């Protein structure tokens, strides 16, 4: 798996610690690394980066939902809708959100 940049400013302390250990392992085992001497650290790094990604993804999702809520409020002020149109829009938005959550549920095949 190709990982993102390992620059320190991009990662939390836990991942930075694993990154430093992996670099140390690679320099200590310059040849043995090709036969798996550092695989445990590489797997730990992959796990840590995956957790970081998930935290960022959830934060971005919440920010997007808040931004969409504000846009919807502004749209409601600018474009008045009938009650049935609002109910239809709400129903479609709810269906889309439920479909997304169902297809992206933890453990669901992607």
pLDDT in tens, the chain (110 residues): 567 788 888 888 999 999 999 999 999 988 887 888 899 999 999 999 999 999 999 999 999 999 999 998 888 888 777 888 888 988 999 999 999 888 887 655 55
Task: Determine the Cα–Cα distance for residues 47 and 44; give it in Å rounded to an integer.
Answer: 5
Q: Which residue has the tokens 């479609």?
A: 92
**Model pTM?**
0.60
């Amino acid at each position: 798996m190709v990982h993102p940049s390992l620059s320190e400013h991009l990662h939390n302390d836990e991942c930075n610690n694993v990154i430093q250990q992996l670099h140390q392992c690679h320099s200590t085992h310059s040849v043995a690394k090709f036969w798996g001497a550092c695989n445990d650290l590489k797997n730990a790094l992959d796990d840590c980066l995956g957790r970081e990604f998930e935290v960022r993804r959830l934060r971005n999702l919440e920010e997007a939902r808040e931004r969409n809520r504000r846009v919807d409020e502004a749209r409601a002020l600018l474009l008045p809708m009938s009650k049935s149109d609002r109910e239809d829009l709400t129903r479609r938005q709810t269906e889309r959100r439920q479909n997304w959550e169902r297809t992206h549920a933890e453990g669901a095949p992607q």
